Amino acid sequence: MEFVIVTGMSGAGKTLALRSFEDLGYFCIDNLPPALIPKFADLCAQSEGNITKVAIVVDIRGGQFFKDLNFILQNNGFQFKILFLEAKDDVLIRRFKETRRTHPLALDDRIIDGIAKEREMLEGLRDKANIVIDTSDFTGHQLIAKIKELFKGTDTKDLLITIISFGFKYGIPLDSDMVFDVRFLPNPFYDENLKNYTGNDKNVQDYIMAAKQTSVFLRKLEDMIDFLIPYYKEEGKSQLIISIGCTGGKHRSVTVANKLKEKLQRDGKLAKTFHRDIDKGK
C-alpha cells in the first residue's frame, strides 16, 4: 500500500494537493489526528486490496493532537512517504489576506507571528520529508500538475473522455464540458425504413455517413479534440465530457458519438460513449 502523509505550512496548498491525490485514485482524508494514523493504516491493510493508495493531510490544525505526529511516525509498523509543502513568508501572508482567512496560530496576533510559530513547530518534520515542494511561484494548476507528475505511477489512468449523445428536446447534459449540435445532418427519422433503428445500427450509420457534411464535420471535430486534449491534461483535468445532440438523441448524435469514440480509441485514448436518450420516445 502506498501511504502519503501531506503536511507543511498553512496556506502552502495542502487542500489543492489532496484534490490532486483524489484525481489519482487515492483514498484521501483531511486533518486526521496523528494518533489515528496507525489504526487507519490497519483498516486499509485489512481492505483485501480494495484500498491500495492513501493520502492524508496532517497539520497544525490538529492543535494539541498534532504534537503526537513525530512519535507516531517513529513508532509505526507501516511504510509511508511525507510530502511537505512550504512557501515564502510574503507569499503566505498575501494568500491569507486574499482569502481573508485567519492563520491557525495567529488568532489574536499578526499573520507573520503565526507563520513564525508554525515554521518552528514544523522544522523537524520538514527534515524527515521525502519530498519538499516550495509553492511560492506555483499557480494552483501548476501545483496540481506537479503532484500528479510525482505520484501518478505507471498505472494511473489517462484523461477519460466520455462522449454523451442526447436529444435537445430532453435538455442538454448538465455536466457537459463541450456541446455540439448535429441537427444539420440528414435525419433518418424521416425515412420509414430507418426511423425505428438507431445510430448503433449499421444501416443508420451508413445513411448519415454518406452525407459529405458528416465526414467534414467529424474530421474538424476530431482535429479540435486532438488539439485540446494536451491542454486539458495540463490544466489538471481527469475527465472530459463531450456532449453531441440531435433532435431526439436516437440517430445522428448516436452515430457521431460512436464514430468519435472509435477514432479516439484507435489513437490510444480512454474514450467511452453514453447514449442518454436512445430509448426515449419509443
| pLDDT tens digits, one per residue of 15-68 | 999 988 998 889 999 988 888 888 888 888 888 778 889 999 988 887 776 777
Does 247 appear as a known binding residue? no
Q: Does residue 194 sit in helix, strand or coil? A: coil
Does 62 appear as a known binding residue? yes
Does 121 appear as a known binding residue? no
Does 49 appear as a known binding residue? no
Report yes or no on whether pTM surpasses 0.75.
Answer: no
Does 14 appear as a known binding residue? yes
Distance, in Å, from the CA atom of 227 to the CA atom of 205, rounded to the nearest integer, reads 26
CATH superfamily of 2-151: P-loop containing nucleotide triphosphate hydrolases (3.40.50.300)
Q: What is the pLDDT of residue 110?
A: 86
Q: What is the pLDDT of residue 282?
A: 63
Phi, psi of 276, deg, nearest 5: -65, -40
Q: Which residues pair with 240 in a beta bridge?
A: 161
Does 140 appear as a known binding residue? no
Q: Does residue 131 sit in helix, strand or coil? A: strand
Contact yes or no for 217/244 (Cβ under 8 A): no
Q: What is the pLDDT of residue 123?
A: 85
Does 59 appear as a known binding residue? yes
Q: What is the pLDDT of residue 167?
A: 95
Q: What is the pLDDT of residue 208?
A: 96
Does 124 appear as a known binding residue? no
Does 12 appear as a known binding residue? yes
Write the DSSP string, 227-267: HHHHHHHHTT-SEEEEEEEESSSSSHHHHHHHHHHHHHHHT
Residue 77 to residues 35, 37, 81, 205, Cα–Cα distance (Å):
14, 11, 13, 59
Does 10 appear as a known binding residue? yes
The terminus-to-terminus CA distance of the chain in angstroms comes to 50
Does 8 appear as a known binding residue? yes
Boundaries of every domain in the chain: 2-151, 160-275
For the chain, the helix, strand and coil percentages under 3-state DSSP, each to the nearest 5:
45, 20, 35
Q: Does residue 24 sit in helix, strand or coil? A: coil
Per DSSP, helices labelled H in 103-251 are 111-128, 140-151, 202-209, 212-234
What stretches in the chain show pLDDT beneath 70? 65, 76-77, 153-157, 236, 282
